[in-house]
Structure 1
């Protein structure tokens, strides 16, 4: 799977829907590369469509600076970092919760996801026309729908209800653009679309263990079930979430790695703990994810943003192995022997984002690394099972799953749990992995958690991020703004 992302993408088939303020971005001339009929006559091109959706995940406006800003720097897990005078355009505002609808981070996240959704819709449109093995076609459709569900999950967590586009839109069809692309659906309708995609693909996708060679890392049945369990959790569908997480656990496809610190290292890529991760290579790397968070100073390893907060450091129990695996302390000797010197600007950095130049795949390009990005992992499913189980009255199962996680972390097993203890465990296990902000919002911890971090969470506003103003302008005000912005 890492290698297939290098395949050439056809401009014609990926000149897909982009919700943007620039109308010129929609004016792509047809037949720039190849005639549609000629393309469809070669069944080998079907995989090109699917790979194009995957490869979008590597782009800057998907999981790089802006995503890091709104999912991590906003939270009590992290501070802006870098230097006092480098605000990262709007990252200082993310840190202080003073962001507005004009900030570029929101535009990046919005545009990146809709570009990806556009690719997915285009791929589905053409996949249906290929004459290929039906089982293989069904799998391809399943992979693309899984990715589309993932992109919408990002959007609904950030913005609430959003426009739901599930078909290939003619770029000249102004009526469809105005009535579909620029009209928000409710949060409930958005979640319903995500559920529909995931329920459709569970039986289309194979188990992770059946993938081999270049296909390792593709979306699997377990990935769809895991994402659906998380989608149910966010909607407080406790029993559905509990049961779906149970399907992943009982599949026998996944297990915790013995060493928590290895989960985010190259040795942990596509491991037994991995359910779904963005695949990156030295020739087609993840743009600026590690660079944004790399230590800044001398020697310079990156921009130095998204540094673990004292609040996070102080939240760990004594003896919790996850603290030193998550927080890179300065000074120290890193796991690969590299010395973290006092000439770096900050006392802490995100260890999970660290790319070793001596012990991992490295070509000297900080801006595009071969480090995979974990999206869904098995420990997350154990936590979901525990939290949903607690709410559904399955307390013994919650105790067992929390104990399993704690023992791996070097802590003692527990004999009882509370919701507070489960959420505390979730913070320790998932720290700096882009879930913390969404977790404190969905569980109502926002005001208290941010107050302890010296920040003000505005109830009725900060539960959602603002719809980007440039998108509202492009829609001629058809897109409506979230409360408080």
Structure 2
């Protein structure tokens, strides 16, 4: 019996029975694919499963690569030094041996499972014959948006991938090859453009449909896809339809649909889920008994530093290098990073911080000695130096005491995950304008983001403005799954990917963390994770992740590995 690759298994293992089932009697407990999709309710219920495919309801299917991308950049350490996290370290430290990595293997598999679900919807819903033809078209467009998003996630992590464009049986997939990156992006573009033409604007949805894909989300993601390919004019023209500062007033304008929230601290606040700033986010309906909700608050929370702080797993910790990059930008620094030595946590009341501090002091051995060692206020918060590479955790994912469910000490929380928001759109538009020589509109979009956090407007032009936009993206969008992909795609003045000047033996990040004059004492004192992270970065290998080895093996060689990976 031939071995077949896992994406074949994905397409054959949907929760439907095939019409070619060897049983003459319908399989009880399963729906028949040929008789499903006969009502609007069935079509909508199936599409809910396509949305659920964004995370598959837990932390290990896709959240892990979201965090891995941060660990592979200059923004985050792997973090957890009390447990073996080899799968993260092998890639985050660029050791060249990640092809058998379980983290990326899961991600690949579950992104294709999501694509399989979307393909069924795209194939079957057109034949549903719903009375509400507009609803039928919208559901297909939602599935195409999600499929485009899933393929984008694969493309920016692995390069060109096998394109499965419709529901396929296992024998149809045998021998499939990878498409080029150009063809993969073309397919994504087609899905997103088709979705944008059909999907309603955010304001046109009923309240009960809040969180569904919108035409604005499709345009925003399409703009990002163009940006990643350096299609500056296409990116500009798409993003212009969303940006107030663009002056665009065409019939397809959505410049009144989105805006920045008044305060940066509101962006990652569960009381501001689906805000005016949100183009698309993961919808989490927390339920303690059913064990549903988001996971990143727990996965990235402090470990062994006091239950009141969150009792987390401490994967993906902010670097001192990122914290230093904020400079005088105190607002975004405090709302992005919680640091050891702090005497408050923004968003916590003084009373609740006192509760956290009391628990923290009772948990951390030699709390007073550590505060003295690092020159901190004795009444400060300390993140356990034994278990953490960095004395920092991510504030964006942190849930304040007042917003926590009664039973918070599990892997679920009520905070939606922001995938695309208006500040990102503004900065992408600024980047496209700058690349096209339109520095006036680039400055306007950039300075709108800066104005929210009380920073002086940027007046520079040309290359200096380009660098200011890049810096702003790091500070504004930290831990929102942008940094690694930005530094991979950006070029320096010589045309070399920017990441090569940050990582590698002479990389600025490596030197910053290993030279005595700049290295952070807390991070240096815990070598459970090496401080020279990135020293073995290879620009000819490490601009994308390896294709999971089992895919190569099970395909019989029809799927080829990325250069430099075994």
Length-normalised TM-score, structure 1: 0.90
What displacement does 1:362 show?
Answer: 5.5
1:19 aligned residue: 7
Instruction: Give the Cα separation in 2 of the matches to 1:362 and 1:245.
Output: 42
Structure 1 unmatched ranges of 5 or more: 1-16
Corresponding residue to 1:325 among 335, 338, 342: 335
Corresponding residue to 1:292 among 294, 299, 324: 299
Instruction: Give the Cα separation in 2 of the matches to 1:228 and 1:63.
Output: 21
SS of equivalent to 1:81? coil
What displacement does 1:18 show?
Answer: 5.6
What displacement does 1:183 show?
Answer: 1.2
Whether 1:260 aligns to 2:259 is no
Corresponding residue to 1:191 among 182, 185, 190: 185
Kept in 1: contact 2:11–2:116 (CA 8 A):
no
Kept in 1: contact 2:293–2:412 (CA 8 A):
yes
What displacement does 1:28 show?
Answer: 7.5
SS of equivalent to 2:474? helix
What displacement does 1:42 show?
Answer: 2.9
What displacement does 1:384 show?
Answer: 0.4
What displacement does 1:26 show?
Answer: 8.1
1:356 aligned residue: 400
1:95 aligned residue: 92
1:153 aligned residue: 152
Kept in 2: contact 1:21–1:473 (CA 8 A):
no
Aligned counterparts, 1:472-483, within 5 A: 472-483=552-563
Q: How many aligned residue pairs are there?
A: 462
Instruction: Give the Cα separation in 1 of the matches to 2:213 and 2:451.
Output: 29
What displacement does 1:24 show?
Answer: 9.2
Deviation digits for residues 338-358 of structure 1 (CA, Å, limit 9, x no counterpart)? 436363324100111113343
SS of equivalent to 1:479? coil
1:449 aligned residue: 502
2:479 aligned residue: 432
Bigger Rg over Cα: 2
2:47 aligned residue: 50
1:275 aligned residue: 279
Corresponding residue to 2:209 among 209, 212, 215: 215
Whether 1:420 aligns to 2:467 is yes
Kept in 1: contact 2:155–2:181 (CA 8 A):
yes
Q: 1:378 to 1:477 in 2, by over 3 A?
A: same
SS of equivalent to 1:164? coil
Q: 1:22 to 1:160 in 2, by over 3 A?
A: closer
Deviates more, 1:361-370 or 1:48-57: 361-370
Instruction: Give the Cα separation in 1 of the matches to 2:409 and 2:294.
Output: 10
What displacement does 1:67 show?
Answer: 2.8
1:14 aligned residue: none
SS of equivalent to 2:197? coil
Q: 1:285 to 1:249 in 2, by over 3 A?
A: farther
Deviates more, 1:388-397 or 1:289-298: 289-298
What displacement does 1:312 show?
Answer: 0.4
Q: 1:306 to 1:239 in 2, by over 3 A?
A: same
Deviates more, 1:116-125 or 1:18-27: 18-27
Whether 1:201 aligns to 2:195 is yes
Instruction: Give the Cα separation in 2 of the matches to 1:415 and 1:23.
Output: 53
Kept in 2: contact 1:281–1:370 (CA 8 A):
yes
2:64 aligned residue: 65
Q: 1:128 to 1:393 in 2, by over 3 A?
A: same
Instruction: Give the Cα separation in 1 of the matches to 2:12 and 2:110.
Output: 17
Structure 2 unmatched ranges of 5 or more: 19-26, 245-253, 365-382, 491-496, 511-533
Whether 1:177 aligns to 2:173 is yes
Kept in 2: contact 1:67–1:109 (CA 8 A):
no
Aligned counterparts, 1:20-35, within 5 A: 30=18, 31=27, 32-35=29-32
1:11 aligned residue: none
Q: 1:169 to 1:402 in 2, by over 3 A?
A: same
Deviates more, 1:71-80 or 1:35-44: 35-44
Whether 1:385 aligns to 2:429 is yes
Instruction: Give the Cα separation in 2 of the matches to 1:218 and 1:28.
Output: 24
Kept in 1: contact 2:17–2:33 (CA 8 A):
no
2:127 aligned residue: 129
1:467 aligned residue: 547
Kept in 2: contact 1:56–1:62 (CA 8 A):
no
1:367 aligned residue: 411
SS of equivalent to 1:247? coil
Instruction: Give the Cα separation in 2 of the matches to 1:368 and 1:359.
Output: 13
